[in-house]
A and B are shown apart, each in its own frame.
Chain A
Amino acid sequence: MTDIAKATDVFMNKIDAQVAAHLDACVRCGQCSEACHFYQVTGDPKYTPVYKLKPLETVYQRYKAPLSGIKRMLGLAPPELTASDLEDWAELVYDACTLCGLCTVVCPMGIDIASMVRKVREGFSAAGLVPEGLTGAAQRAIEIGSPLGIKPQTLEKIIAEQAEEVGIPIELNKVGVDYLVILSAMEVLNFYEVIGALARLFKKAGVTWTISTDAYEATNVGIQMGNLEIAGTLVGRIVDAAEKLKVKYVISPECGHAYSALKWEGPNLLGRDYDFEVIHILELMDKLRREGRITFKGKDDRKLTYHDPCQIVRRGGIVREPRDLLGQVASNFVEMKDCGVYNICCGGGGGVSANPRAEDLRLKAFAVKKAQVDDLGGVDALVTSCANCRNVLEEGIEHYGMDLPVIGLSELLADYLDDEGDAASAT
């Protein structure tokens, strides 16, 4: 049963100065619909991003806005939120928003709608309206350690196979190394070659690293579903493992929300600073490249383009690094129109790809991404740096009958790594 009181309490607590300024500044111009792939493919006004905030706005205008008391007295405040309001909105909040944040770019008022949809999800989570796909993933993440149910023993086996394949030993739970590598479940399950790729790159650069069997999972389903208790538990696991292993850095992997969760939200979720630094794998690779610790030989001469993961680029600030890295290994790299900060989402971020209820809509929304790629007049492969994007892109490509391989950037770098010569000295 939908707990409307809990949802209202959460909304009340989540309304701060930023939320209030955003909600008060909105002039209902509807421009945000132009940025939302769900609206673009359906033409249904209900998918307009700011409309998805209505439950939060109702509580704000009724209870928390300055002068709302006078409006209530005069009967000018919106009516109380009801359980059926929330139930009606669940699809808009969980199935039809990837939290990609492109709507902020188009908004003349600069309203950060995606962050407020996150807050709306927190209310919905308290009300018991999280879709099953996400609650199941959360349960597996808490009980097993991975949202896809990958057990430590399975991970160890995959790592051993990768170590054997590249001929480089990978030590688990090693205390005192510089870097702790964490992985997204999608990488471990579908794109495990990245582990071997990292081993080769790190060996060449002289980087000391390890993987923890206590905390190997980077993705944070708590963030996606809007449950901060679960989000905090999952971040806390990584932080505990990193501090136990006394590493200097935790490497956030090729996963958009994982980066957001650990780098930008983690310290706030835990209410404390970390004893280590968080560095994204692209930042680290670019740093190693600039320091001359990894060098490349040869270049991929296929026509390649790059899909920017929203949470890493538009909402994470890592824009230059992937391009500098691609410049090292791709001789025929082309940018999509409106790339970088303005890129179009794959359609499956923000937990949408983990929500089977949203699958049809997600595949429909992929048409917007497809059009962006098609606009290039044909490319040979799509490079990205988020395993979830990669999986969603592959599903969309298959759905639309396209012939377009998707490549992880770290793997591409490893393919052209100049392995010869001694390893650079470790720092």
Chain B
Amino acid sequence: MTFLELTEGPLWYAAATIFVVGVVWQIVGIVLLGRKPDRSVPRGSALAGAVKANVLHLWPHGGFFNKTGFHLVAGYIFHIGLFVLVLFAAPHIVFIQDHITGFGWGALPRWGFVLAAEAAFCGLILLWARRIGDPVIRLLSTQDDLAGLWLTFIVMLTGCLALGESIEFLRALHMLTVDIWLIYFPFSRLMHGFTFVFSRGYMGATFGRRGVTP
């Protein structure tokens, strides 16, 4: 078994299993903690509040646009770039078709891929610079926050190195980092990619009953 066969084969399936089981375990674990029923007489709908909070917090509101502009731009550039890369880069579509879905979809042209990659790198580097440069975020950051950030950076970097697909080792190296990233994900703050819906939703539900969405 070659290094590539290992990382795209048994290691990939193990990592993907740990990722899926870990994420489901985390989410179910959080939800099963439950909430006591609220006996107060509601003025509005909890469900509507949960939906509204999820939409409202996609974008700064309440006069905070200027104060949060850096994080907003860097965050969105990174996330959009990353998702475009993951879902629309031609090698990724082939991999997803072969290993997960059984079907594929149209890939981005090369210029789109390069643009998305540049955006993702640019956003991630800006977020990293803020994390180490801003005294508030430095105080809040843990080893986990930095590990998640660096791991994601390494995955993207090895992905770029493997871009030509001509050197098998580089492709295998990229897959290895992807596998490690997937295994790390459920144990880390990278889980925010799933828990944000619940966080916004619970808050929105609480205040939706009160007829307001902060």
Contact = CB atoms under 8 A, between A and B. Distances in A.
Size bracket, chain A contacts: 35 or more
B97 to A, nearest CB: 32
A415 to B, nearest CB: 29
Contact of A316 (B136, B210, B213): B210
Contacts of A105: 61-62, 64, 214
Contact of A268 (B26, B40, B195): B40
Contacts of B25: 66-67
A400 interface: no
A419 interface: no
A27 B192 contact: yes
Interface in A15-67: 15-22, 24-31, 33-35, 39, 45-46, 48, 50-51, 64-67
Interface string B53-67: 110110011111001
B206 A278 contact: no
A112 B35 CA distance: 15
Nearest to A106: B64
A25 B57 CA distance: 13
Contacts of B142: 28
A64 B34 CA distance: 13
B36 interface: yes
Interface stretch (B116-124, B161-169, B183-191): B183-191
B73 to A, nearest CB: 13
Given A105-B214, A112-B203, A16 B33 contact: yes
Given A105-B62, A109-B57, A25 B199 contact: yes
A45 B212 CA distance: 30
B63 A342 contact: yes
A253 B22 CA distance: 49
B210 A24 contact: no
Contact of A31 (B22, B43, B71): B71
B17 interface: no
Contact of B189 (A28, A104, A314): A28
B145 interface: yes
Contacts of B14: none
B204 interface: yes
Nearest to A54: B140
A408 interface: no
A24 B26 contact: yes
Interface string A86-116: 0000000000000001101111111110010
A337 interface: yes
Interface in B20-35: 22, 25-26, 28-35
A35 B134 CA distance: 16
Interface in A275-308: 277-278
A361 B40 CA distance: 34
B88 interface: no
Given A21-B202, A28-B137, A35-B64, A64 B33 contact: yes
Nearest to B142: A28
B112 interface: no
Contacts, number: 189
Contacts of A35: 64
Contact of A66 (B26, B39, B53, B211): B26
Nearest to A21: B198
Given A20-B33, A25-B195, A28-B141, A277 B203 contact: no
B137 A29 contact: yes
A273 interface: yes
Contacts of A272: 39
Contacts of B41: 263, 267, 273, 277-278
Given A16-B33, A342-B63, A267 B196 contact: no
Interface in A161-180: none
A160 interface: no
A277 B43 CA distance: 12
B214 A341 contact: yes
Given A16-B35, A108-B75, A264 B210 contact: yes
B181 interface: no
Contact of A45 (B22, B62, B68, B136): B136
Residue of A28, A48, A107, A110 with most chain B CB atoms under a 10 A cut-off? A110
B192 A316 contact: no
A200 interface: no
A82 B191 CA distance: 28
Of A28, A65, A264, A273, chain B has the most CB atoms within 10 Å of the CB of: A28
Given A17-B30, A105-B62, A341-B214, 18 more contacts: A17-B33, A20-B30, A21-B201, A24-B26, A25-B199, A29-B75, A29-B137, A30-B140, A67-B25, A67-B29, A70-B187, A101-B214, A106-B62, A110-B57, A112-B202, A314-B212, A315-B207, A316-B210
29 contacts: A15-B33, A16-B36, A17-B34, A17-B202, A21-B199, A24-B189, A26-B189, A28-B131, A28-B140, A31-B71, A33-B136, A39-B136, A45-B136, A48-B140, A50-B140, A66-B25, A67-B187, A101-B214, A108-B75, A111-B199, A263-B41, A264-B210, A267-B39, A268-B36, A268-B38, A273-B39, A316-B212, A319-B212, A338-B63
Interface of B: 22, 25-26, 28-36, 38-41, 43-44, 53-54, 56-57, 60-64, 67-68, 71, 75, 131, 134-142, 145, 186-187, 189, 191-192, 195-196, 198-204, 206-207, 210-214
Q: Which 5 A-B pairs have the closest CB atoms?
A: A66-B29, A110-B200, A317-B211, A342-B62, A25-B199
